[in-house]
Amino acid sequence: MQNLLDFNLLQLTNWLVGQGEKPFRAKQVFHWMHQSGESDFGKMTDLAKSLREWLSQAAVIHAPGVLADRTSEDGTRKWLFDVGTGNGIETVFIPEGNPACGEAAEEDEPQRYRLRPGAVDGPRYRGTLCISSQVGCALECTFCSTGRQGFNRNLTVAEILGQLWHAVRELKKAGYGERPVTNVVMMGMGEPLANFENVVTALDVMLDDNAYGLSRRRVTVSTSGLVPAMDRLAQRCPVALAVSLHAPNDGLRDRIVPINKKYPLKELMAACQRYLQVAPRDFITFEYVMLNGVNDSPEHARQLLELVKDTPCKFNLIPFNPFTDSGYEKSTPESLRTFRDILIQAGYVATTRKTRGDDIDAACGQLAGQVADKTGRVMKRINMEAA
C-alpha cells in the first residue's frame, strides 16, 4: 500500500490523477493529512465516499511508531521513533515563550510579532523541531554522538515528514495551539544533504501552504559541507542554511570534520557565497562546537574572522555536550566568552546556543538513537581501542 506521507503535493496529484481522480482531490487529502493530522480516510468528509473507500484499500498515512517519549525539566521533548530492524531515530522539540501569546517574529525583526486572536501580550512563542534525516551518520565528525553510532540508511520521505506530522498532532493535544511548530531545523541525526532527494521532497511539504505553510526563512538545513549538494539545494529549494564549521583552518577541520578532506574550506566558503545569491536570509549561519583546548583559543577566533571576511554570516557557538568516551571536554566559560567577544568586537553577530534537554540526552551532538551499523565502523573503533 502507498504511504501518502511519501508524497509532496505534485506527486500526490499525479498519483491520484493516474487513478482517474480530479486534480483538486489532492489538495483536499493534503489538508486532511497535514493540517488536520488525520490518518483515517473515512473521516475525510469532503471526499466522495467511493474515493474514501478506495483510499482505505490502496493507501495509508503512516508515521514511524514511537519507542520512547521523554520531556526534559526545561520543557524540551524528545521522541525516539522506530524505523525498523532494530533502528531508532530521535526528534527534539524545543519550545520558547508562551504559546498563548503571539508568534515570534523573524530573527532579524525582534521588535515585531503577531498576536493570535484573543491572545494577550507576553513572551513571544517559538516552537522549534529538530528533525533527523538518516539512521546514524556516515560523516564521522569526531565530537558527535550520532557519528559514533555508525550508519545504516537514509530515511524515506515518510520517515522524515512523519516526525513533523506526529509532533504537530501530539503538541496540539498538549496545548501548544494550532501552530505548535513555527521553525524546523534539519539538525537531527544524519547529514541532510547526503539524503538529498528525500529531504528536499520533505521540505516541499513543510513549505506548502496546503500543509504546514512554513516560510523558507523558518526552515533551516544544516550541512557539514557537501559542496555539490549545497549548489543543488540553492537551485532546487533554497531555505535557510547553517554550516557545521567547527574549525577555522583545514588542518584542524580535516581532523574533526573529515568531509573537509574532500571539500576543503576554500571550496566550502565559495559554495556559501554562491548560496547567498538565492538564500532567503542574507547571511549564512556558521555552527561552531567549542572544544576545550582544541578549537577555542583567541588565535582560532582570529583565524575564523579571516576565513569568513568575504561571507556575510553570523556565528552560533555551541557548548560541547559530553558523551561517554568522546575524548573531548567543554570549553571553559572564560574561553567561550573571550572567543565570542573577539567575533563581536569585529562586528559579527555571535550567539551562544543555550543547552536544552541535556538531562534527556536531547542537546546538540547528543542524539544517538538506535543504529544497526552497516559500515562496520563501530566494530573497527572497538578493535582499535582494544589494541
Catalytic residue, chosen from 90, 103, 159, 191, is: 90
Between CA 316 and CA 299 the distance in angstroms is: 18
Catalytic residue, chosen from 38, 267, 364, 385, is: 364
Contact, 103 vs 125, CB < 8 A? yes
C-alpha count within 13 angstroms, C-beta hemisphere, residue 312: 9
In terms of DSSP H, where are the helices of the chain? Answer: 9-18, 24-30, 49-58, 145-148, 157-173, 196-207, 227-236, 250-256, 265-276, 298-307, 333-345, 377-386
Please name which of 137, 149, 133, 139 lies closest in space to residue 261, comparing C-alpha atoms: 139
First to last CA, the chain: 49
385 is annotated as an active-site residue: no
137 is annotated as an active-site residue: no
Cα angle: 132, vertex 134, 137; to 5 degrees = 110
- CA distances to 48, 157, 235 from 164, rounded to whole Å, are 28, 11, 24
**Which residues contact residue 47 at a Cβ distance below 8 angstroms, ignoring those fewer than 6 apart?**
25, 28, 29, 41, 55
Contact, 286 vs 276, CB < 8 A? no
Three-state secondary structure call for residue 380:
helix
Q: Give the bridge partners for 91, in sequence order.
A: 79
What are the backbone angles phi and psi of residue 7, rounded to the nearest 5°? -105, 140
- CA distances to 21, 208, 222, 282, 370 from 285, rounded to whole Å, are 44, 24, 9, 10, 29
Contact, 175 vs 216, CB < 8 A? no
- CA distances to 40, 62, 224 from 56, rounded to whole Å, are 8, 12, 41
**Active site (catalytic) residues:** 90, 364
